[in-house]
Amino acid sequence: MDSVQMISHIEQSLNYSVYDVKWIPCTAKFVSLGSKPKGTGVVQIYQLNRGTLELVKETEREKSLKCCSFGASKLRTEHLAVGDFAGKLAVYDLERMDAPPVYEVAAHDGIINTLDATGGSTVNCGAPEIVTGGRDGAVKVWDPRQPNDPVANICPASKDCRRDCWAVGFGDSHNAVERVVCSGYDNGDLKLIDLRNLKLRWETNVKNGICAVEFDRKDIRMNKLAVSTLEGGLFVYDMRTQHSQKGFASVREKTVGQSLGSNGVIGGAKSTVWTVKHLPQNRDIFVTGGGSGNVRIWLYHYPEKRVTTPSDGEEQGVAGTLEMLHATTLSTQPVHTFDWSPDRQGLAVCGSFDQTVRVLITTNLNLH
């Protein structure tokens, strides 16, 4: 059997709504955070131990917690950047969770919907930075070494035309100066901001609210960008060649959020694609988490030629194709957060709205 299989290895019920899960780099532990019914936030650290999950540490916070990342942390320091429902961004040292945060700032008016971080463990790829997107429509870039003020604040001048920012992601950080931020909004707007020149590099609209964006790698020259939306939309953009009129080439899948029947037939109503995550060990494989509780693994095939030159003489990108390697239904509720282990290929953790985290094992990924 050389086909990819995803198995639910361990299931752990929680007494709170889980919003984000992340593996702690270089360990067999992961962080789960979310919101308790009384409106307080909770951070839990679980460790894999002989086929079971062991709760190592639990800490409660004043406000519900929404999103987190280790991207701006050095490998050995375990500094977790966390965004909460009150608009506060904080960086906690997991070794000393009861101590005050290492970094803290009032980042947004209202909830921080999403954050991403980079630069912590990479070499010659720029400063450690955290980008946050909030309900106030702003996208802000923070340097944990600089208190109070953001490095960049990207938002419309008029408050009337601000849209809810649902997704952000870093990319193109292949040297000490280049870096971009991609942001997705509730009306389907997708914007690519060049942080070196602080200008809008490209924008488009995908006609549905954008739930997740992710570059296949943050620390290389822009290669591919995966975007997932409401109503089952999945777009993969080839980011190597930008056309002045047509922008970046893309491939689209329409039924990604729908459930897969026992006979392998896709059915049911259109369903949100909540998350998209690329495999750390292979940038052409990624996973999507659907609103019907399904998880799908995809393989991107590059075209024979990635660039074509039409009659006008300007180079234009060519999109590849998507192959679904595996699909499985894990839950009756949406799988809205997912994280691959950076250290062990095929090991993953996901969270769903049935208040459960699942440790997953995926086989045969090395054959693709």
SS3 144: coil
pLDDT tops 50 at residue 199: yes
Distance of alpha carbon 219 from alpha carbon 189, whole angstroms = 24
Distance of alpha carbon 64 from alpha carbon 88, whole angstroms = 11
Closest CA to 359 of 82, 47, 1, 4: 47
Q: Give how far Cα 249 sits from Cα of 38, 92, 130, Å.
A: 46, 40, 28
The pLDDT of residue 260: 65
CATH architecture observed for domain 15-280: 7 Propeller (2.130)
Rg (CA), the chain: 20
Q: Side chain identity at 70, as an amino acid letter?
A: F
251-262 per-position pLDDT tens digit: 998 877 666 665
Closest CA to 276 of 304, 308, 234: 234
The pLDDT of residue 1: 39
pLDDT tops 90 at residue 176: no
Could you tell me which residue, 258 or 51, shows the higher pLDDT? 51
Distance of alpha carbon 116 from alpha carbon 70, whole angstroms = 9
- How deeply is 122 buried, as exposed, middle or buried, from its count of CB atoms within 10 A (0-12, 13-18, 19+)? middle
pLDDT tops 80 at residue 263: no
The pLDDT of residue 98: 87
Let me know: does 172 contact 179? Beta carbons within 8 Å: yes
Q: What is the DSSP string of 309-320?
A: --TT---EE---
Residue 267's Cα: distance from chain center in Å?
26
Could you tell me which residue, 244 or 158, shows the higher pLDDT? 244
298-329 per-position pLDDT tens digit: 999 999 999 998 877 889 999 999 999 999 99
Q: Which residues contact 250 (CB under 8 A, 6 or more apart)?
A: 235, 236, 237, 238, 319
Query: By percentage, how much of the chain surpasses pLDDT 90?
Result: 77
Q: What is the mean pLDDT of the chain?
A: 91
Annotated domain spans of the chain = 15-280
Arithmetic mean of pLDDT, 180-207: 95
pLDDT tops 50 at residue 364: yes
Other CB atoms within 10 A of residue 70 CB:
23
Closest CA to 41 of 90, 103, 107, 106: 90
